[in-house]
Chains A and B, each alone.
Chain A
Amino acid sequence: MYNWDFFTVMQSFDLFLIGVWTTFLYTVGSIVLGVIIGLAACFARLSRFAALRILSRSYQELFRCTPLLVQILWAYYALPMLLGVSISNTTAGLLTLSLYVGSFYSEIFRGGINAIDKGQREAAAAVGMSGVQSMTHIILPQAIKKMLPAFINQSVIQVKNTSLLYAISVAELTYMTSVVNSETYRPLEAYTLAAVMYFVMLFPLTQIADHFERRMRRSD
């Protein structure tokens, strides 16, 4: 019978906290940047200029169709060789996570905007609203409601994806857990604790997503 000993790993609890905090920072940072990138890519895809559409489409497919881990390793190890400058693991990690999630967000945003009946845009135009006014006052407020469940789901995945930064030694939760493990030789307790911490962070988020999905179905 295995002799559980959480006490030993709990003595390194401060290391776990550093990990949780770093995971949180990378999640929030990459979601904020991802939203900005996603919006830009989304409007580029909807643009009337073919060059912008092609550019946006290429970006989306490149990041959606290659594994995130490969992107992270590439940005940290390969990109510096290509550019001849060194890139910190912080920069490489944050940039890759943001671009990755941005490519998914942009399609979620585009789907939400396209789901709005074209009569809405016509009605806005018919009272003389500009394209920007119609987008900000009429289309986006309705589209955001439609996007929300998919957006939250993608963000939940994003929290878990930060664990891949382990591969380039970013001090997020998974990496810090490995540090605790190598100090205590207690992998079972350490990784169980890490899983519990991820769960505690994510469970509320999935509940919020479900809540929005239910509410949306009611208003339809």
Chain B
Amino acid sequence: MTEPVIAVRGLTKSFGSLEVLKGIDLDLMPGEVLGVIGPSGSGKSTLIRCLNMMEIPTSGRFTFRGQEVTSRFRGKGARIGTGELRREVGMVFQHFNLFPHLSVLDNITKGPRLVRGQSRAEAEALALDLLAQVGLADKARAYPSHLSGGQKQRVAIARALAMKPVVLLLDEVTSALDPELVGEVLAVIRRLAEGGMTMVLVTHEMGFAADIASRVLFMEQGRIAEQGSADDILRNPRSDRLRGFLSRFHG
């Protein structure tokens, strides 16, 4: 039996008195593409941000490849720290968050050089290779302010991949894009899925989720309300609430 990459038990997260996640159990298996859908405020963004400890869970068990994770940057004893976790669990943000003072190439090589200790030559070779994969080989020397939204997001994906992560977390990565730019980003994600990358994606692109997700979670009010294969969840929803939620997207 294969071991889950990330296993979560009874995970809760509160901001002050507001409980956003109310007990999540989740196993993320290698090679799985997990789609997370749900209305805004359902906790899906908080959930994905807990998976690389960008938000520190309030309670619950969190293991990465069987190892428990502490909330501190450095691990202690058998438990690994958030720094070690985030090396292996990459994240792409809704608003790209590229480093505006660095060229595209430096955006991508900064992490591997600082965190993985790669040489400049090694890191740049990998970065150029990744830029070619996302179709931006000619933009290595450009600065983020000169890129379109779609190009920025593809650079952000390349930046995350440069760390050679085991898991990639994608938090509404097309939500801030003009509609005509969504396709180029989805194409990159599709290729990653076909290449066997383990991914969690929070998305409003239901058609896309149906296409590439091997499993879909429907979140509501801080809980996983329904889950199953993309077909089950998106094409044959059981609960009224999920049906209602989906109907707004088919409109």
* A and B part of one assembly: yes
Over the window 118-134 of chain A, the binary record of Cβ atoms lying under 8 Å from chain B Cβ atoms (1 yes, 0 no) is 01101111111111010
A219 to B146, CA, bound (A): 11
Which residues 44-59 in B have Cβ within 8 Å of A in the complex? 52, 54
Q: Which of B93-109 contact A (CB under 8 A)?
A: 93, 95, 97-101
**A122-156 CB contact bits vs B (8 Å, 1 = yes)?**
11111111110100011001100100000000000
A122 contacts B101, C-beta separation under 8 Å: no
* B111 engages A122 (CB within 8 Å): no
**What 5 pairs between A and B have smallest CB-CB spacing?**
A127-B111, A123-B97, A119-B97, A128-B87, A126-B91
Known pairs A130-B73, A137-B110; A125 contacts B86 (CB<8 A): yes
Q: Which of A117, A127, A145 contacts B110 (CB 8 A)?
A: A127
Known: A128-B83, A129-B114, A138-B110. 17 other contacts (CB 8 A): A117-B97, A119-B93, A120-B97, A120-B99, A123-B93, A123-B97, A123-B159, A125-B86, A126-B54, A127-B90, A127-B110, A127-B115, A127-B163, A128-B163, A129-B83, A133-B114, A219-B145
Contact, CB under 8 Å: B100 / A126: no
Task: Tally B residues with Cβ within 8 Å of A.
Answer: 28
- Measured between beta carbons, the chain B residues less than 8 angstroms from A131 are 73
Q: Contact partner of A129 among B95, B101, B111, CB < 8 A?
A: B111
Which residues in B have their C-beta under 8 angstroms from that of A127?
86-87, 90, 110-112, 115, 159-160, 162-163
Closest Cβ of chain B: how far from A59's Cβ, in Å? 28
Chain B interface residues toward A at CB < 8 A: 52, 54, 73, 82-84, 86-87, 90-91, 93, 95, 97-101, 110-112, 114-115, 145, 156, 159-160, 162-163
Also in contact, A126 and B115, with CB within 8 A (given A119-B97, A131-B73, A142-B100): no
How long is the Cα–Cα vector from A88 to B162 in the complex, in angstroms? 58
B54 partner, pick from A122, A130, A142, beta carbons under 8 A? A122
Q: What A residues does B83 contact at CB under 8 A? A: 128-130
Residue of chain A at shortest CB distance from B107: A123
User: Residues of B contacting A119 with CB < 8 Å?
Assistant: 93, 95, 97
What distance in Å separates the Cβ of A135 from its nearest Cβ neighbour in chain B? 12
CB distance from A217 to the nearest CB of B (A): 14
Establish whether residues B114 and A126, one from each chain, have CB atoms under 8 Å apart when the complex forms.
no
- Chain A residues with Cβ below 8 Å from B97 are 117, 119-120, 122-123
B99 touches which one: A128, A130, A138, A145 (CB < 8 A)? A138
Minimum CB–CB distance for B164 against chain A, Å = 11
